[in-house]
Amino acid sequence: MSPANLNSLYNDLRRSFDTNPCDIARCGSLLAQLKSALIEAGLLLPQGQKNLHDLTIARDILEIGAFWSIRAQDIPSFDRYFSQLQTFYTDYSSLLPPSEREFPIRGLNLIRLLTQNRIADFHTTLESLPIRADAIADNPYISHPVNLERWLMEGSYSKVWNAREEAPAEEYKFFVDSLMGTIRNEIASCEEAAYESLPLKDATTLLFFSNQSELLNFAEKRGWEINLSASSVSFAKKTEEKQEIPKEKIISAALGYARELEQIV
Amino acid sequence: MTDVEMKPSDDKAKLDDSESTPSHEIKTNIALIERGVVTLEPRFTHRVLRSLATLRKRLDGNVLRTAVEEIFPRESPVKGVLLAWLPPPEQNMDVDAASGRNVITFAIAPEPCPESEVYLRLLILHYLLTNPAHYARALELAQETVGIMQVLNRRTMDPLAAKVWFAVERAYELGAELADARPLFLAAQRTAALRRDDETQASLINRLLRNYVHYSLYDQADKLVSKTTFPISAGNPQLARYHYYLGRIKVVQLNYSEAHANLQQALRRAPPAKTAPGFYQAVHKFFVVVELLMGDIPERSLFRHPVLEKALNGYFEIVKAVRAGSLSQFQSTLSKYAAQFEADKTYTLIVRLRQNVIKTGIRRLSLSYSRISLRDICVKLHLDSEEDAEYIVGKAIRDGVIEGRILHEKGWMECGTQKGGYGPEVSEMFTRRIGFCLDLHNQSIKAMRYPLNAHRKELAAAEGARERERELAKEIQEGDLDDDDLGGDF
């Protein structure tokens, strides 16, 4: 494929991406063509010195691809685009002009890790961000996921709930649903431990449900007992099983000591 | 970063050498290296390298020039090469005369082995690195020395090579090209692994880890750790560094208990606090934060340690805030020392402490009250709303921080009593400690050294004793023939 062809496809992609609402199906087919064109031009995973203009275009295409994956709700695809972008963000950061989409994409990646409950990866990624740690608060794209994580960890779930409308970019909202699913499960497991029973009405508000039927569905999934006459929900107490004495472990440990002592004496 | 400055444990360096001049010491060292090469005994080379840290501080251009002049025969090509790396001498007649005199006495000395050359190169490299004007030349020298080492490929050079790599890293770092050194180190690490060159391998793994951690590439560092095995025969200084970097990687990944173990190992393996204060402080900074993240409070005496007192000042304030469970105090301390924490690369870790502050606060409340309203919790912990307080307490109960229940209708928390803990955990704890002691014993047995062929002497002595015994027995037997009283026993 010739560079001219690549260029026209690229312009095509930008046009269909920028139209509102964007044409997801068309972008997808364009992206697939563009990716093979990039591979032919050796720009998908660039090595060595390349033309700066070409690199910028390649980066743009991948960035659009990342956003498109979010809009198409295709998380694995976002993951792939993000790892391909790493080369541009890390190795070519000194050569290329900074991209205005870089931090939104990095932030999206952080949220993705958060919704998948990969907290360790979340922190590793956060450490390797190219900004100073005390400047994070000034960057809306990064501070949003960072705050969410902090609230989740300390248990301020209502703040997470309230922050769902404050997303700094449109794409962040695609993660809101799965994030809410995560926190609902978190809250549910906390409630199981912390309460014996709850009035239905309060349980509904605590779990951020808008009506009782949603709560009833949810309660069924978690195996809670609903007492409709008292209109309360009681949580199945986890019976504490009797702890077995780990015989085998103790025996093997004792034998091990005997052997070692034999060697010492 | 301060950790580079960590000196290998040199407290055992020969004290009697301290009075001698540096150039004399270099000559003695070269003799030791030669002996080590001839007898294939790395012990001698190690002895030389132990004194490196103290010697390094006393080096200057003239000392090195004299040493090179004296050690190499006049027409040696290596000598010219080495001298070319040194900056031109200041006009100093004394030294010139001295070296001139010595050259005559040493002129008949044979050409030293390549190990000696590399040792001198190492010294020159360290000397060049003391002056910012020479950084570029140091980098060139480093590259050339690495080339020479790789071409020679001698096993007797391995201990030296490990030290050279350290100097190479310094050269790259001071030349602000640390990232460029990565491919070089990776290639050398593979070669070292194939040649079973443990010391170089240990040194290079540490170089690489440091490189990754410096650029916050924890993912790559973690992959490196999982793909390589750190040689068990590596010396304590390398092992201490390795544990320090492991600890740093683990703490970023939220694996606090392992990070704690690693950092503790690093502290135990590290040279005494006075010898390597930089390393001691750097490890302690992370150690304190990790202890806090695990929910423990570091001992107060730690902050009174003369080496640590000043360096850990900010951390001490944080510890106080966490201990008191006061969010406002924590926030103000954090912003006050932000620059320091940022420089130490602990800022993001300390930010994570926020939830621990809350947990400690709730824990203190649960211990002192048997029943407390959510509103009071909210006020005491400076939380934003009662609603938050309810979720936070719920989470604390689920995470096992406190024992208790929330009575939603009445809006209070009832605190249960602590469970008395005597279960399998106790035996597990004992198993771990006993395992540690046994391991320590086995390790120290393995670490004992037996001089070569020493057992022969003992055998000979035993043989002699047996001989004497036999003679004695014979005599007695003969005597027995004479004297019937002694019969029966033999």
- Residue A86 backbone phi and psi in degrees, to 5: -50, -40
**Helix (H), strand (E), coil (C) string for chain A:** CCHHHHHHHHHHHHHHHHCCCCCHHHHHHHHHHHHHHHHHCCCCCCCCCCCHHHHHHHHHHHHHHHHHHHHCCCHHHHHHHHHHHHHHHHHCCCCCCCCCCHHHHHHHHHHHHHHCCCHHHHHHHHHCCCCCHHHHHHCHHHHHHHHHHHHHHHCCHHHHHHHHHCCCCHHHHHHHHHHHHHHHHHHHHHHHHHCCEEEHHHHHHHCCCCCHHHHHHHHHHHCCEEECCCCEEECCCCCCCCCCCCHHHHHHHHHHHHHHHHHHC
Mean pLDDT of A171-198: 82
> pLDDT averaged over chain A?
79
Find which of A90, A127, A192 to mutate to test the B interface (most B CBs within 10 Å of its CB).
A127
Per-chain mean pLDDT for chain B:
79
B156 found inside a domain: yes
In a domain, B244, yes or no: no
What pLDDT is recorded for position A1?
Answer: 46
Kindly indicate the confidence band of residue B343, based on its pLDDT and cuts at 50, 70 and 90: confident
A190 and B358: CB-CB below 8 Å?
no
pLDDT digits (tens, 9 = 90+) for A14-24: 777 776 666 67
Q: Over the stretch A51-60, which tens digit does the pLDDT of each residue have?
A: 777 778 788 8
Nearest CA in chain A to B360: A154
- Please report the pLDDT score of residue B243 as a whole number: 94
pLDDT range class, residue B123, cuts 50, 70, 90: confident
Question: What is the mean pLDDT of the segment spanning B340-363?
Answer: 86
Q: Which of B361, B393, B415 is the last residue of a domain?
A: B415
- pLDDT above 80 for A50: no
Residue B101 lies in a domain: no
CB A20 within 8 A of CB A11: no
- Name the minimum distance, in Å, from the CA of B240 to any CA of chain A: 23
> Quick check: A196 and B405 CB within 8 A?
yes
The average pLDDT across A55-71 equals 82
What are the pLDDT digits (tens) for B213-252? 888 888 889 999 998 888 888 888 889 999 999 999 999 8
Residue A133 has pLDDT above 50, yes or no: yes
A157 contacts B218? CB cut-off 8 A:
no
The answer for residues whose C-beta is within 8 angstroms of residue B141's C-beta and 6 or more apart is: B85, B121, B124, B125, B128, B171
As for the ipTM of the complex, it is 0.72
List all residues of chain B from 275 to 334 with a beta carbon under 8 Å from chain A.
Answer: none
Task: Give the pLDDT band (50/70/90) at residue B484.
Answer: low
- State the residue range of the domain holding B403: 369-415
Determine, yes or no, domain membership for B219. no
CA A136, CA B70: separation in Å to the nearest integer? Answer: 59
- CA separation for the pair B47, B129 (Å, rounded): 23
Rounded Cα distance, B163 and B150, in Å: 14
How far does the CA of residue A178 sit from the closest CA of chain B (Å)?
A: 20
pLDDT tier for residue B259 given thresholds of 50, 70 and 90 = very high
Q: Do A156 and B391 touch (CB under 8 A)?
A: yes
Q: Compare all CA atoms of chain B with the CA of A262 and give the residue at the minimum distance.
A: B438
Say if CB B340 and CB B314 are below 8 A apart. yes
Q: Distance (Å, rounded) from C-alpha B279 to C-alpha B5?
A: 7
Assess whether pLDDT exceeds 60 at residue B319: yes
Give just the sign of the alpha carbon dihedral A50, A53, A59, A65.
negative
Whether the CB-CB separation of B71 and B27 falls below 8 Å is answered with: yes
In this predicted structure, which of A164-173, A180-189, B420-429, B452-461 has the lowest mean pLDDT?
B420-429
> Can you tell me the mean pLDDT for A233-245?
66
Q: What is the mean pLDDT of residues A60-73?
A: 82
Question: Which residue of chain A comes nearest to B339, CA vs CA?
Answer: A134
**Three-state SS annotation for A135-183:** HHHHCHHHHHHHHHHHHHHHCCHHHHHHHHHCCCCHHHHHHHHHHHHHH
Domain count along chain B: 2
pLDDT computed for residue B100 by the predictor: 41
B404 domain residue, yes or no: yes
Across the range B308-329, mean pLDDT stands at 87
- Is B392 within the bounds of a domain? yes
Q: Could you tell me if B218 lies within 8 Å of chain A, comparing CB atoms?
A: yes
pLDDT band at residue A153 using 50, 70 and 90 as cut-offs: confident
pLDDT of residue B357: 85
pLDDT tens-digit series, residues B266-280: 998 888 888 888 899
| pLDDT the model gives residue A239 | 53
Domain membership of residue B331 (yes or no) is no
Contact across the interface for B252 and A124, Cβ inside 8 Å: yes
Q: For residue B385, tell me if it sits in a domain.
A: yes
CA B369 – CA B415 distance, rounded (Å):
7
User: Could you say which residues from 331 to 390 on chain B have a Cβ atom under 8 Å away from some Cβ of chain A?
Assistant: 338-339, 341-342, 347-348, 351-352, 354-355, 358, 383-385, 387-388, 390
Closest to B388 (Cβ–Cβ): which among A156, A246, A253?
Answer: A156
Size of interface A-B (CB pairs under 8 A): 111
Q: 243-262 in A: which are within 8 Å (CB) of B?
A: 243, 245-246, 250, 253, 257, 260
Domain boundary among B177, B206, B223: B177
pTM (two decimals): 0.74
- Other C-beta atoms closer than 10 Å to the C-beta of A158 total 20
Domain boundary among B381, B415, B449: B415
What residues form DSSP beta bridges with B238?
A: none
B12 band by pLDDT with thresholds 50, 70 and 90 = very low
pLDDT score of A165: 75
Mean pLDDT of A87-110: 80
